[in-house]
Structure 1
C-alpha cells in the first residue's frame, strides 16, 4: 500500500493537470473565436457605417446641386423679370416722350396761331 498511494497521487495529479490544460486551451479557443467574430462584426459595422456615410455625402451633393439649380433658376427669373420691367419702363418712357412731343407740337402750333392772330389784328408799324 505504500507504493499504491504515491502512484495514486501521481495519477490524480496527472489527470488534474490534463483536465486543467484542456480547460485552458478551450478558454483560449473561445477567446480567439470571440475576437475573430468581434473583428468580423466590427468590420461589418465599419462597412455599414462607411456605406451610410457615402450615401449621406451623395445625398448632400444632390441637394447642393438642386439648391444651386434653384438659385440659378431664381436668378434667371429675377434677371428676366428685371429685363421685362426695364423694357416696360423704356416703353413707358418712349410713350411719355411721344406724348410730350405731341404736346409741344400742339403748343407751338397754338403759339404760331396766336402770333398770326395778333399780327393780323394789330397794325404794323413801319420799321
Structure 2
C-alpha cells in the first residue's frame, strides 16, 4: 500500500498539470481569438466608416456640381433675360423713334399744308 500512494499522487499531479496546461492554452486561444475577432470587427467598422465617408464626399461633390450647374443656368437665364429686356427696350426705343419720326413728318406735312393754305389765301 505504501507503493500505491506515491504512484497515485504522481498520477494525480501529472493529471492536474496536464489539465492546468490545457486550460491555460485554451484561455490564451480564446483571448487571441477574441483579439483577432475584435481586430476583424474593428477593421470591418473602419472599412464601413471609410466607405461611408467616401460616399458622403461623392454625394457632396455631386451636390456641389449640381449647385454650380444651377447657378450657371440661373446666370445664363438672367443674362438671357437681361438681353431679352435690352432687346425689348431697344425695340421699344426704335418704335418710339419711329413714332417720333412719323409724328414729325406728320407735323411737317401739316405745316406745309398750312403754309400752302396761307399762300393761297394771300394770293386770292
Category of TM-score, reference length = shorter chain? 0.7 to 0.9
Compare 6-15 and 69-78 and name the one that shifted more: 6-15
Q: Is 2:69 aligned against 1:73?
A: no
Measured after TM superposition, the shift of residue 5 of structure 1 is 3.3
Residues 39-80 of structure 1, C-alpha deviations (whole Å, 9 max, x = no match): 122212211221222122112212211221122112112211
Q: Tell me, which stretches of 5 or more residues in structure 2 are unaligned?
A: none
Provide the TM-score with structure 1 as the length reference: 0.78
Measured after TM superposition, the shift of residue 116 of structure 1 is 4.6
Measured after TM superposition, the shift of residue 87 of structure 1 is 0.3
How many equivalent residue pairs? 120
Distance 1:77 1:106 in 2: 42
Compare 32-41 and 105-114 and name the one that shifted more: 105-114
Distance 1:23 1:119 in 2: 140
Distance 2:32 2:78 in 1: 67
Distance 1:109 1:44 in 2: 95
Provide the TM-score with structure 2 as the length reference: 0.79
